[in-house]
Structure 1
Amino acid sequence: MTLQYWLRWLSLQGVPRLVLRVQSRRGDTFARMMGPEGIRDPHPYIEQIRAQGKLVKTPLPWVTCDHSLVRTILRDNRFGVRSSARIEIPKVLAKFANRMPPPANPADPPAMLRMNPPEHTTMRRPVVSAFTPRAVEKLRERVETVTEELLDAMPSDGSVDMVEAFASRVPIAIIFEMLGLPRADMGQFLFWGEEMTPMLDVGISWSKYHRAMRSARQLNDYLDRHIERLRREPGEDVLSNMITGSQLDHYALKANTSIIIGAGFETTANLIGHAITLLLNHPEQLDRLRAEPELWPNAVEEVLRYEPPVFITARSALTELELEGVQLPQGAMIMLSLAGANRDPAVFDDPHRFDVTRPNANEHLAFSSGVHACFGANLARMEAGYALRAMFERFPDMRPAGPPRLRQQLTFRGYAQVPVRLGPAVHATSSH
């Protein structure tokens, strides 16, 4: 099994990793953006790409950072997501690499992230009803309770890592409830999520891929047991509805459960982590929010614009087509920089300025657009809006306790650690 996974890694990650390294040494802007320098600060590379035009050919894929073009491609049914299972693997590798399918995970079909309509529509339909504005509003009271419990547990005037203690804990508690999972297992899921999300990057190392596959197998075993329990005793949760109300097979149920965990957890954890860091680094913006708390929803939109939880995505041409005067062959790959689109000066004035009062902050593309728009967007907005306001009201003197540390991954770009000194706790009496 390890040999098969190694061959899959070589085909899907190892070869792209080598190409990116070679092109980075040659000075290619896109390759450097996708490497360690780009993870630290991608925006200089984004602006170099933007200066070359709306649609830029690199030695690897086409790239665009243009807001209008990114939105157009995301909504154009002539483009689709790229399935890693459909990458052309040399036959000698494919014979061994595909002998055994990988464990169900968000990076491989039949996870909806890697599917195009009509299969994607079939996968998505049983899930989206749990994330409508009305359904999300029903979760508000639970979000408030979870938030207050987490804040109560923090040491007044102590120091904590806000990712571990708060940013990750609010969304995982809610998604567990939605999936009918026991709260005692949250810590294990946080670990699995940390290990598995790099699979959505390009060119990850063998050691990261191996750890991700190991966690994917463990998660598969766990979900096998959980799904069988829900088959016998279904509840009112999303997963029970998927089991009883859809035609998804067991493998597809597991793959899409991992996507729901990612959509409901990873993006929100990154959003809250970015927001804490940005507001602590821009105290004048925090002061504005304290003076005008009605600005909090717009502040969440500005965080999403300024530091989107998902940095980059990709689409492939499903047919030969013309785009921006360029004739693209079927299969042509275009990397879409959501972060670049969100700082397009044609749409956002002074785009590199963080401004919680920005009037058109909600024009960002942080949650994608079109058929693959993030179905967890409403939940993420609600969770972050309440949690952030409650946290800064509870600890008004919060200060950084050291430099935050970014995860070494680009697709889901967020902080691994945000150390803070809390200051004295203030127990507010007013409701939000």
Structure 2
Amino acid sequence: MTPGGWPDVAVVADHVGVRHLVVTRHALVRQVLTDPVTYRPDNALDAVTPVPVAALRVLAGHRFRLPPTLANNGGASHPGIRAAVADALHPARVDAQRPWLTGLLRRRVARIAATLATGAAVDLHAEVAADLPLLVLARLVDLPDAPVEAVKDFARAALELFWAPLDDQRQLALAAEVGRFHRVLRDFATTGGGLAARLRAAGHSPDVVVGALFFLLVAGQETTSQFLTLLLHRLTVEPAVVADLRRGAVEPADVVEEGLRLEPPIVTWRRVAAVDTTLGGTVVPAGTSIVLWLARAGRDPVVVDSPDGFLPGQRGSRRHLAFGAGAHRCVGAHLARMEAGVVVDEVAPLLAGVEVVRPPWYPDNLTFRMPDAFVVRRAGRPVPAQGGPPQA
């Protein structure tokens, strides 16, 4: 047991009866992530709900394939593919986007502030978080020429198809959505510039190029969108932090780190035991599915002084595992931090004196939070508080 009373590891059966070893303790989660020989990433993109034959046929009709590229690649090709993506997301290139992003956010904040001043409600997820990471990513990596909404719909469909408990009809609909956009990616993989061209020049197949683009569009921007909404929502119940930000008593970067620790968009990640081993005194047979509870690890009292308190700069705040660790640590970590830092700096002042009209709703998902909306208005005006999923 950790000092907080959580089991270090526990066997849990999922909605289809598959048993997983859930790991909660920070040290053990990190141990698994940094040992790719004992614990492989092969199952990282496996569908949580087995995909039925009808949906598989839909995917096959779109020539859908996801060979090992980034998150699910434990082979020799991983370092080369990762290096190409890392070059596209180099910190210097990322930091060069800060002035443009700051200007964009200031224009949006001015518009939002004007709307709030009228007493109207504003969806901060839609107005700030939903498209921002995609717009930044498009400036760093050549992407297929597709409407923002189409990319967002595809990314959310993929997160649901592979990581959510689903029935057959929903899987069929999601397979069609994912398959259609996968065809767009496949066409782009053979002709696109930027990262796609670099991967082709390095000798990678179109399937690998598609896989890299798939992961960037799903994990490279959608998770950051989620985090921006999660962080802004959390700040509405942290008035002292917002006040400290407004008077310069706390750094936006420290606020971002506490947000990543307490409100990570990716709450779990998976590995599979490659050999018989033990973990925290528990016998782990080869082939065991391991679920790493990243969100729980961020609240391990061994690591952080105040596990449940939002205290920017506290000891252990930056030791969270929101970006993973080891060879598969998130290659876009610097990008996500830059975007979140600018959002905190520019948008957080809006949160003083607002009330939440509709908090984010999160669908059932093993790994991703996927907030759908976050509606606020100026405090003191009578409005019905509503939560839950949007009504049809």
- TM-score, normalization by structure 1: 0.76
Q: Residue 164 of structure 1 aligns to which amino acid in structure 2?
A: A
> Which residues in structure 2 correspond to 1:35-74 (within 5 Å)?
51=5, 53-59=7-13, 60-74=19-33
**Contact 2:93/2:140 (8 A) holds in 1:** no
Is 2:283 the partner of 1:327?
yes
CA–CA distance in structure 1, aligned partners of residues 153 and 56 of structure 2:
27
After TM superposition, give the deviation of residue 420 of structure 1 in Å: 1.3
Instruction: Provide, for residues 93-129 of structure 1, a one-character-per-residue CA deviation record: whole Å limited to 9, x for no partner.
Output: 99x96998585779x4334222213232233221111
Is 2:151 the partner of 1:196?
no
- Give the 3-state SS of the residue equivalent to 1:220 in structure 2: helix
Q: Residue 307 of structure 2 aligns to which amino acid in structure 1?
A: P
Q: Residue 211 of structure 2 aligns to which amino acid in structure 1?
A: A
- Decide whether aligned partners of structure 1 residues 386 and 86 sit closer, same or farther in structure 2, where only a CA change above 3 A counts: closer
CA–CA distance in structure 2, aligned partners of residues 50 and 82 of structure 1:
31
**Contact 1:195/1:208 (8 A) holds in 2:** no
After TM superposition, give the deviation of residue 291 of structure 1 in Å: 2.1
Instruction: Provide, for residues 126-146 of structure 1, a one-character-per-residue CA deviation record: whole Å limited to 9, x for no partner.
Output: 111122322221222232233
- Give the 3-state SS of the residue equivalent to 1:319 in structure 2: coil
After TM superposition, give the deviation of residue 419 of structure 1 in Å: 0.4
**Contact 2:108/2:127 (8 A) holds in 1:** yes
After TM superposition, give the deviation of residue 344 of structure 1 in Å: 0.8
Is 2:93 the partner of 1:135?
yes
1:347 pairs, out of 287, 294, 303, with 303
2:122 pairs, out of 143, 156, 160, with 160
Aligned to 2:362: 406
Aligned to 2:200: 243
**Contact 2:158/2:178 (8 A) holds in 1:** yes
1:271 pairs, out of 210, 215, 227, with 227
Is 2:170 the partner of 1:208?
yes
CA–CA distance in structure 2, aligned partners of residues 363 and 209 of structure 1:
37
Aligned residues: 366
- Decide whether aligned partners of structure 1 residues 135 and 306 sit closer, same or farther in structure 2, where only a CA change above 3 A counts: same
Q: Residue 53 of structure 1 aligns to which amino acid in structure 2?
A: P
- Give the 3-state SS of the residue equivalent to 1:156 in structure 2: helix
- Decide whether aligned partners of structure 1 residues 389 and 422 sit closer, same or farther in structure 2, where only a CA change above 3 A counts: farther
Q: Residue 232 of structure 2 aligns to which amino acid in structure 1?
A: I
- Decide whether aligned partners of structure 1 residues 61 and 399 sit closer, same or farther in structure 2, where only a CA change above 3 A counts: same
- Give the 3-state SS of the residue equivalent to 2:322 in structure 1: coil
- Decide whether aligned partners of structure 1 residues 161 and 177 sit closer, same or farther in structure 2, where only a CA change above 3 A counts: same
After TM superposition, give the deviation of residue 356 of structure 1 in Å: 2.4
**Contact 1:104/1:216 (8 A) holds in 2:** no
After TM superposition, give the deviation of residue 421 of structure 1 in Å: 1.7
- Give the 3-state SS of the residue equivalent to 2:290 in structure 1: strand
Q: Per residue, is there more helix in 1 or in 2?
A: 1
Aligned to 2:385: none
Is 2:39 the partner of 1:79?
yes
CA–CA distance in structure 1, aligned partners of residues 45 and 303 of structure 2:
36
Is 2:259 the partner of 1:303?
yes
Aligned to 1:112: 70
RMSD, matched Cα: 3.1
- Decide whether aligned partners of structure 1 residues 202 and 414 sit closer, same or farther in structure 2, where only a CA change above 3 A counts: closer
CA–CA distance in structure 1, aligned partners of residues 191 and 7 of structure 2:
54
CA–CA distance in structure 2, aligned partners of residues 146 and 105 of structure 1:
36
Q: Residue 320 of structure 1 aligns to which amino acid in structure 2?
A: D
- Give the 3-state SS of the residue equivalent to 2:27 in structure 1: helix
- TM-score, normalization by structure 2: 0.83
After TM superposition, give the deviation of residue 176 of structure 1 in Å: 2.0
Q: Percent identity?
A: 23
- Decide whether aligned partners of structure 1 residues 58 and 184 sit closer, same or farther in structure 2, where only a CA change above 3 A counts: closer
CA–CA distance in structure 2, aligned partners of residues 184 and 109 of structure 1:
23
After TM superposition, give the deviation of residue 382 of structure 1 in Å: 0.2
After TM superposition, give the deviation of residue 284 of structure 1 in Å: 1.6
After TM superposition, give the deviation of residue 375 of structure 1 in Å: 0.7
- Decide whether aligned partners of structure 1 residues 84 and 143 sit closer, same or farther in structure 2, where only a CA change above 3 A counts: closer
CA–CA distance in structure 2, aligned partners of residues 105 and 396 of structure 1:
47
After TM superposition, give the deviation of residue 184 of structure 1 in Å: 6.4
Q: Residue 72 of structure 1 aligns to which amino acid in structure 2?
A: Q
**Contact 1:49/1:56 (8 A) holds in 2:** no
- Decide whether aligned partners of structure 1 residues 294 and 192 sit closer, same or farther in structure 2, where only a CA change above 3 A counts: same
1:281 pairs, out of 237, 247, 263, with 237
